[in-house]
Amino acid sequence: MHYLNNLWAALDFGSLWDMLLRLAAVLLCLTVHETCHGLAAYALGDPTAKREHRLSLNPLHHIDWFGLAAMLLVGFGWAKPVPVDMRYFKKPKQGMAITALAGPVSNLLLAVLLLFISRLVLEHYADTALCSGALDFLLMTAYMSIGLGLFNLIPISPLDGSKVLFAFLPDRAYMTLMRYEKYGMAVLFVLVWLGVGDNILSEGIYQVYSLLINLIVLR
């Protein structure tokens, strides 16, 4: 019993709580991102995501557990891709581009919503015990959501930005690149591991976050 008491006393509950908050933030950002991919495809006529139960805000429908662990541990991860069948789109390339763009846009809109809530918390609950914890979570999640949105706009396959860029290519070149899309993940892993573009991306995330903070929270 004495050993168990010592073990219990040694647990760092502050770090555990921080990890749980980070997990909640990651799940929220990824779930909104993937759900909006599915909603955009469905709005354009593709029922695949609906049929696969991906039009859901239940994180369990979207989470890839290896990708989630990677995002928590190293800041780079992924969710299960939303299935999209471009044959349902009247204009396949444009439909894929809109569907892809819906994810990053949803993350930016989520960040805006969270910052508006942060402003309300500051205005009405600044003197309460919950204010600090709530603000920490809201601001952290907003920053993470901006980061996820901007990262996915990078035009490297299989990120969303590549599908937007590919939409401007001739049909033959588009289909060729789409066939080789699966190899893009390996390239992306190498670039992330080497830290290529880290400073530019980090600065971009910080600048967008700072701009929204000044426009929404500190106005």
33: exposed, middle or buried (Cβ count in 10 Å: 0-12, 13-18, 19+): buried
Instruction: Spot the catalytic one: 34, 123, 181, 203.
Output: 34
Asked if omega into 158 is within 30° of 0 (cis), the reply is yes
Residue 77, SS3 per DSSP: coil
Measured CA to CA, the distance from residue 14 to residue 16 in angstroms comes to: 5
34 annotated active-site: yes
**Residue/partner pairs of 122-126 with CB below 8 Å, 24 or more apart:** 122/217
- Structural tokens at position 147: 């980061």
| CA of residue 27 relative to chain centroid, distance | 9
* Cβ atoms 38, 49 nearer than 8 A: yes
**Which amino acid is located at 40 in the chain?**
A
Task: Look up residue 80 and give its DSSP letter.
Answer: P
In the Cβ-directed half-sphere of 78, how many Cα atoms lie within 13 Å?
11
- Which residues are identified as catalytic? 34
